Amino acid sequence: MTGPRSIVRLPPGVQPPFRVYISGVPQREGVDYVVEERVLVFPGRELRKDKVSGWRWFLGAWGVGTYRQNDSVDVQYERAGRPLVAEGLEIEVEGSAD
């Protein structure tokens, strides 16, 4: 495996065509990601969701900012002609340096 790649499993009910966004920025299939079965694959990218610890929450409550990478993967799709969005999908990283 060459470098990290992030994967996001599509929720049940999501069928093509759909649009993919990372933190609100549109992604292009074949350029930014590929679809393998029911999984979005972001080759060469290590997407991360920030997990806020109790200590960081406490600091934030006092106005002390602690910022880390916090990617949100959202998928916009339609079901029965009704627009829907699957928000904040779980991110898995393969081949990470961690």
Interval 9-46: pLDDT, tens: 999 999 999 999 999 999 999 999 999 999 999 998 88
Q: Secondary structure of the chain: what % helix, strand, coil (to 5)?
A: 10, 40, 55
For residue 38, what is the DSSP state?
T
Global pTM value: 0.76
Kindly report, residue by residue over 6-15, the tens digit of the pLDDT. 999 999 999 9
Q: What is the reported pLDDT for 31?
A: 96
* Whether the predicted pLDDT of 56 surpasses 60: no
Q: Residue 6 — left, alpha, or beta (φ > 0 → left; ψ -120 to 50 → alpha)? A: beta
More confident residue, 19 or 96: 19
Query: Domains in the chain, please, with CATH?
Result: 5-94 (2.60.40)
